[in-house]
Structure 1
Amino acid sequence: MSYKLLHSRLYQFLRSFTTMAIAKGRPPALTNPTLVKIINQFYKFASIEADSIKHFPGYDDRNFYFRGVPTDSKKEAEFVLKMFNSLHSSHDVVVGISEIWTHIASKGFTYSSCLRNWEKKAVTFVPKSLCEEANVSGSTETYAVRILYFVSGELFDSIDKQYLTPKLMREAGTFLGQLDAALKDGFHNTAIGQRKNVDWDLSHLLHMRIHLPAMDNLSRRAMVEKIVNDFESFVQPKMPSFSRGVLHGDANGMNLIVKENESDEYQIAGLIDFDDTVLSCHVFEIAIFLAYIMIENLNPIDYPSPVEFVCTVLQGYLQVFPLSKDEINCLYYLVLGRCCQSAVLGEIAYKAEPWNSYLLTTPEKAYKLMEILLAMGKENVDMIWVKAC
């Protein structure tokens, strides 16, 4: 067998293996009747409005919005049901996430309260066999399920760009810094501390190398490889000195809730979806947030580039949660690292579910941001951000 043929077959195997690994634990795409059946089996509802059910797109889990009347309250309310990826359905971790809500509530943060099941527990473990689309009778695998009361307001990413004022951007950064400070102040959970979210924790960015064979675009693959190599050379040696703690882990404009105040200005109302929470380096939190805000604002109004656009976010964060010189110096590499994760994992997830076009929306913009940042260079980006600090 020729070298080229052997290489081609190995590449196809690795590509297939990587795609299957991403999709392996993802819950099945439930139909509305199946979802209603699961809800009624484990929760007390007088009625569920089946026509209200909407599927919220996601990478790893399944998220559904619905309206219903809980038996206890006898009043219609809005809910979000999350069915976790089976690989993330550890009982201790899911319960640990609930303990985060309790802790931040004691610090004055608003969070989405949880609807208890028949056993008055916050988390339900649904057998895979109940998900008829899975077609796995006899399986012992389970998916963790949680139902939360829907948080009213608008998503940060959904409001008109004209309302993304320096004041609101600074407030967003301040809010995130206050959240990290609150979690740093007295919160500890063993399960979360031991959690290994290899794909999404920036600590494990080198893991992206495993996914390189699944990338069809060679120029993009080379770009990702450079970013991962730079992380290994310039960030990893400094990580032992970085401040560590429990992070939200996925702060972005689709998780940040805003509301209009009496002056018709938007203000930050809360942050949802703590399901990627992990014990890691604090600087990763703001790096992730900066990456996603820039991804959604590649051509911001009245700013030369997305780098200048997020300066007030960084200012707001650092005012309440200062970072060391080394941590700030690594922001450039960390933002690029999150872009890599979002782009590569999104593409792989799409190959597992080619009908789900949502999975490609962020990757395309993430690649564009990588190109912008690499073209500007670290020195120029640092000059803008350090000046803002």
Structure 2
Amino acid sequence: MAATDQTSPGIGVLKPGQIIRPIVNADDVPDLVSRLYGLTVTSVKELNSYDDKNFHVQVTGPSKNPHITEVCPHGYTFKILNSMDTKNEKLVDAQNQMMLFLHSKGFNVPKPEKNVFGSYMKAEKLTPPPDDFLTNNVTEAPSQEYMIRLLTFLPGKILHQVEYTPELFYECGVFAGKLDKELKNFKNETLLSRKSIWMLESTLDLRKFLFAIKDEGQRNMIEEILEAWEKNVTPVIPKLEKGMMHGDLNEQNIIVQPDPDNSEKYHLSGLIDFGDIQYSCFVFEVAIIVMYAMIEVKVMEPNEAGGHILAGYLTQRDLSELEWEVLKECVAARFAQSLTMGAYSIQQDPGNDYLLVTAAKGWKVLREFWTTPKEQVISRWKNIIESYQRRS
């Protein structure tokens, strides 16, 4: 997701009319990888991305980079950060440090590689876009300088590509709980003050982007959610347990692998995309993964998905009464973020179909979820959780 924030002077939360996604041709990638990382590229494939540009590159032959002594057999993700995150080297360093920390703890996450200059990142000036790139909706031209990184590639499929099952949701919950527990030991000063439009604490900033939602009924529903957030969640945020978190546990970032004994069955195997890491409320992490699980699920009603995820999560970390009380509003707020910012972003980048993933079914799922009484939603989730507990 977009990781736009204001952690240092001159860096602001994304504003309407601002284009931050890099304009990069895939044909330019091999030369960049060779010059910056001393690797020979054999193939380039662009990957889904919201505000960055990501490419899966396969390489061959020995490395000419003294810092890469063993070439990753699965290739690499060549990441070109958006212009806003490029301005914040401390944030990029925090992302690298979190991945290195989790990698050292046995988590299957991408490992940042040093470039030929001995650094995990480098800002590069790239070819500017054509003069006619700007549209009537754009008030600021794209930057020509972008931060570049190289990460080991995680093989497998993304969760979005396989059939969702209760077992997979449970595994996602367990993984999220383990992640939150381990990250209690990760320290980073930069993340303590980070602000981003994609952090749930920034939910009320969505009011600046509501103009992008053209359907009056949809816009009114988002306004209802924002009012509920302001009334029920904002006052209690200081009381909620906080820690370092991934911040974007969605179906595009969770990697799965087939079961060795059953190729039609999948298990969670890894996690990618650390662009939204933050210091925030743990209940937000849970709400995010629940929300994205609801979008494409077919084996159960979307409103039931959260029960299976929470059943796994609770094996690692308990939820307080206060966290239970605000959980529905938190899930709805993530829907509001994804749908509102998706509507806005597609106006700025009409050719990026990835921006429409949530919108395809999200409005219908959100309406059913939001109009279901909170007590009914929580009761159903707890019944599912208890069914797991009875099995053990």
**Fold-level match, TM-score > 0.5?**
yes
Q: 1:310-321 alignment to 2 at 5 Å? A: 310-321=306-317
Q: 1:275-290 alignment to 2 at 5 Å? A: 275-290=275-290
Distance 1:77 1:152 in 2: 6
Q: Identify the residue that residue 6 of structure 1 maps to in structure 2.
A: none
- The answer to whether the 8 A contact 1:60-1:85 is kept is yes
Q: Post-superposition shift, 1:344?
A: 0.8
2:324 equivalent among 320, 323, 328: 328
Distance 1:133 1:77 in 2: 32
Q: Deviations over 1:57-95 (max 9, x none)?
A: 322111111212333568665111111112112111111
In structure 2, relative to structure 1, the CA distance for the partners of 1:77 and 1:166 (3 Å cut) is closer
Structure 2 residues without counterparts, runs of 5 or longer: 1-13, 134-141, 386-392
Q: Identify the residue that residue 177 of structure 1 maps to in structure 2.
A: 177
Q: Identify the residue that residue 5 of structure 1 maps to in structure 2.
A: none
Q: Supply the AA of the counterpart residue of 1:331.
A: L
Q: Deviations over 1:126-167 (max 9, x none)?
A: 12xx2343679xx986311111121111211211x2xx3333
- The answer to whether the 8 A contact 2:83-2:146 is kept is yes
Distance 2:128 2:107 in 1: 39
1:352 aligns to 2:348 (yes or no): yes
Q: Supply the AA of the counterpart residue of 1:316.
A: G
SS state at 1:64 partner: strand
In structure 2, relative to structure 1, the CA distance for the partners of 1:140 and 1:215 (3 Å cut) is closer
Distance 2:341 2:130 in 1: 23
Q: Deviations over 1:219-274 (max 9, x none)?
A: 11111101111110111111111000111000011111111233324222111111
Select the structure that is richer in helix. 1
In structure 2, relative to structure 1, the CA distance for the partners of 1:372 and 1:116 (3 Å cut) is same
What TM-score do you get using the length of structure 1 for normalisation? Answer: 0.85
Q: Deviations over 1:268-323 (max 9, x none)?
A: 211111111011111000100000010122xx22x3x2122331111110120111
Distance 1:180 1:36 in 2: 37
Distance 1:276 1:189 in 2: 14
1:149 aligns to 2:152 (yes or no): yes
2:44 equivalent among 36, 39, 53: 53
Q: Supply the AA of the counterpart residue of 1:322.
A: D
Q: Post-superposition shift, 1:387?
A: 3.1
Q: Identify the residue that residue 8 of structure 2 maps to in structure 1.
A: none
Q: Identify the residue that residue 261 of structure 1 maps to in structure 2.
A: 259
Q: 1:1-389 alignment to 2 at 5 Å? A: 19-21=16-18, 23=19, 25-28=20-23, 30-45=24-39, 47-49=40-42, 52-69=43-60, 70-72=63-65, 77-89=74-86, 90-127=88-125, 130-133=126-129, 142-159=145-162, 161=163, 164-184=164-184, 186-197=185-196, 199-264=197-262, 265-297=265-297, 300-301=298-299, 303=300, 305-389=301-385
Q: Post-superposition shift, 1:374?
A: 2.1
Q: Identify the residue that residue 10 of structure 1 maps to in structure 2.
A: none
SS state at 1:126 partner: strand
SS state at 1:175 partner: helix
- The answer to whether the 8 A contact 2:209-2:340 is kept is yes
- The answer to whether the 8 A contact 2:74-2:154 is kept is no
Q: Supply the AA of the counterpart residue of 1:349.
A: S
Distance 2:294 2:32 in 1: 39
User: How many pairs align?
Assistant: 354
Q: Supply the AA of the counterpart residue of 2:41.
A: I
Q: Supply the AA of the counterpart residue of 1:155.
A: I
Over the matched positions of the two proteins, sequence identity in percent amounts to 30
- The range that moved more, 378-387 or 324-333, is 378-387
Q: Post-superposition shift, 1:381?
A: 0.8
Distance 1:375 1:67 in 2: 47
Distance 1:263 1:74 in 2: 31
Structure 1 residues without counterparts, runs of 5 or longer: 1-16
Q: Supply the AA of the counterpart residue of 2:186.
A: F
- The answer to whether the 8 A contact 1:19-1:352 is kept is no
In structure 2, relative to structure 1, the CA distance for the partners of 1:220 and 1:188 (3 Å cut) is same
SS state at 1:245 partner: strand
- The answer to whether the 8 A contact 1:339-1:369 is kept is no
In structure 2, relative to structure 1, the CA distance for the partners of 1:165 and 1:41 (3 Å cut) is same
Distance 2:105 2:113 in 1: 22
- The answer to whether the 8 A contact 2:26-2:44 is kept is yes
In structure 2, relative to structure 1, the CA distance for the partners of 1:158 and 1:171 (3 Å cut) is same
In structure 2, relative to structure 1, the CA distance for the partners of 1:107 and 1:216 (3 Å cut) is same
Distance 1:208 1:32 in 2: 33
Structure 1's consecutive aligned runs of 4 or more residues displaced over 6 angstroms after TM superposition are none
What TM-score do you get using the length of structure 2 for normalisation? Answer: 0.85
